Chains A and B, each alone.
Chain A
Amino acid sequence: MEYKDYYAIMGLKREASADDIRKAYRRLARKYHPDVSKEADAEARFKDVGEAYEVLKDAEKRAAYDQLGSEWQAGQDFQPPPGQARHTRQPRQPHGAAAGPGFDAHTFSDGGDDYSDFFESLFRNRAEGGGSTGRAQREGFHAHGQDQHASIQIDLEDAYQGAKRSLSLRFPQHNADGTLSSSERVIEFTIPKGVRAGQNIRLAGQGAPGIGDGKPGDLYLEVEFRSHPRYRVEVRDVYMDLPVAPWEAALGAQVEVRLPTGGVVEVTVPAASSAGRKLRLKGRGIPATSAAAEAGDFYLVLQVALPPANTDAARAAYTQMAGQFADFRPRTKLEGAS
Chain B
Amino acid sequence: MNTLTQVHAVILEEHGDFSFDELCHACGAAQAQLLELVEEALVTPSGATPGEWRFSGVHVQRATVAVRLQRDLGVNAAGAALALQLMDEISTLHGKLRAAGH
Question: Which A residues lie at the B interface, using CB under 8 A?
Answer: 26, 29-30, 33, 35-36, 46, 50, 108-111, 144, 146-147, 149, 166, 168, 184-192, 194-195, 199-206, 217-218, 220, 232, 234-235, 239, 276, 289-290, 293, 301
Among A33, A192, A235, which residue has its beta carbon within 8 angstroms of that of B9?
A192
Find out whether the CB atom of B11 lies under 8 angstroms from the CB atom of A192. Answer: yes
Interface-centre pick from A26, A147, A191 (highest chain B CB count, 10 A)? A147
Residues of A contacting B10 in the complex (Cβ-Cβ under 8 angstroms): 192, 201-202, 204
Please name the 3 residue pairs, one residue from A and one from B, whose CB atoms are nearest each other, closest first: A200-B12, A189-B9, A202-B12
* Interchain Cβ contacts under 8 Å between A and B, 7 examples: A35-B87, A36-B69, A108-B68, A149-B64, A189-B7, A201-B9, A293-B14
Residues of A contacting B8 in the complex (Cβ-Cβ under 8 angstroms): 189, 203-204
Which residue of chain A has the shortest Cβ distance to B84 in the bound complex?
Answer: A35
Least Cβ–Cβ distance between A207 and chain B, in angstroms: 10
Interface string of B1-27 (1 = CB under 8 A from A): 011111111111111100000000110
Find out whether the CB atom of A147 lies under 8 angstroms from the CB atom of B57. Answer: no
Which residue of chain A has the shortest Cβ distance to B100 in the bound complex?
Answer: A276
- Interface membership of B47, Cβ < 8 A: no
CA A188 to CA B3, docked complex, whole Å: 10
Find out whether the CB atom of A110 lies under 8 angstroms from the CB atom of B28. Answer: yes
- Interface membership of B65, Cβ < 8 A: yes
Q: A186-B2, A202-B12 are in contact. Are A35 and B65 (CB under 8 A)?
A: yes
Interface string of B68-101 (1 = CB under 8 A from A): 1101111000000001000100000001001101
Interface-centre pick from A30, A111, A276, A290 (highest chain B CB count, 10 A)? A30
Find out whether the CB atom of A301 lies under 8 angstroms from the CB atom of B64. Answer: no
Which residue of chain B has the shortest Cβ distance to A275 in the bound complex?
Answer: B101
Residues of A contacting B99 in the complex (Cβ-Cβ under 8 angstroms): 234
Residues of A contacting B28 in the complex (Cβ-Cβ under 8 angstroms): 110, 146-147
Residues of B contacting A46 in the complex (Cβ-Cβ under 8 angstroms): 72
Find out whether the CB atom of A202 lies under 8 angstroms from the CB atom of B69. Answer: no
Interface-centre pick from B5, B72, B98 (highest chain A CB count, 10 A)? B72
Which residue of chain B has the shortest Cβ distance to A110 in the bound complex?
Answer: B28
Known: A189-B9, A203-B7. 5 other contacts (CB 8 A): A147-B28, A184-B2, A191-B9, A201-B10, A290-B14
